[in-house]
Amino acid sequence: MIDQSLPDLLYGTAWKEERTRDLVQAALEAGFRGFDTANQRKHYLEAGVGEALACWLDAGNPREDLFIQTKFTFAAGQDHRLPYDPRAPVAEQVAQSAASSLEHLGLERIDSLVLHGPSQRPGLGEADRDAWGAMEQLHGAGVVGALGVSNVTLAQLRQLWSFADHKPRFVQNRCYARLGWDREIRGFCREHGVIYQGFSLLTANKHVLIHPSVYAIARRHERTPAQVIFRFAQQVGMLPLTGTTDPVHMASDLAASEVSLQPDEIETIEALGGA
């Protein structure tokens, strides 16, 4: 089960550009309390998230009700609008990026800082070790709470686990049904007490949304196929993300937690990913 101090669904803020502030405000109004962003101007407008949070907090709402997660992104994943000096050592890049995130978000502390994908494949390199070490320092200083990593293979996750002094609390991957819903990494996470965050659960699995078995489960519960997939994810231990821009879908996605899938229904959806 997911840590009860965490929301059971995160709102993802990628690819929203100038609509970011308004959409995050809409998500807050719908009931979202967990938000995922990144200090990567190429795909995120982190400052827009901060503007929405400021309005919400200025209205007297408590900071402790929120879970805010952002990411450090290596230069290879950035465009020309980097939040740090690319000539600086990696550890300094991480520190600069985190300081910039705090400014963008208007916060004194980030609840979760995620390494936004390793610097290389296969394996991890010196830059990844340096970045993780810098993230650990930020954690030790109380600037960030949990640490995480995204877009990793099982081998990379095992390697990180072997050298990290402060182990990752979160792993965030794009979750494909055709790859068994990332079964191997989910298994590692379950074994080591790590929370698996799944993104693109709908967009990466459109064939699942129209599968007769999913439709049948949705009809049985008088829910939508999307709600069934989100609830499946929650019941197998994932912390799912949604990035919908539709307020109706925001409310619908949050309501997925009201569904209680039966064990055989969960097995049916698991099986759609293959043996």
Task: Report residue 239's pLDDT band, with 50, 70 and 90 as the boundaries.
Answer: very high
- pTM for the full model? 0.96
Report whether pLDDT(1) > 60.
no
Domains of the chain, residue spans: 10-200
* Mean pLDDT confidence for 244-257: 98
- What tens digit of pLDDT does each residue of 166-212 get? 999 999 999 999 999 999 999 999 999 999 999 999 999 999 999 99
Three-state DSSP state, 240: strand
Separation between Cα atoms, residue 3 and residue 207, nearest integer Å: 31
**Closest Cα partner for 12 from 250, 257, 252?**
250
Using CB atoms within 10 Å of the CB of residue 191, give its burial: 0 to 12 exposed, 13 to 18 middle, 19+ buried.
exposed
Tell me the sheet residues that pair with 113. 70, 147
What is the predicted pLDDT for the residue at 273? 76
Whole-angstrom distance, CA of residue 164 vs CA of residue 106: 29
Both tokens assigned to 129: 């070790």
pLDDT at 275: 39
Considering the domain 10-200 in this protein, what is its CATH number? 3.20.20.100
The model's pLDDT over 6-33, given as tens digits with 9 standing for 90+, comes to 999 999 999 999 999 999 999 999 999 9
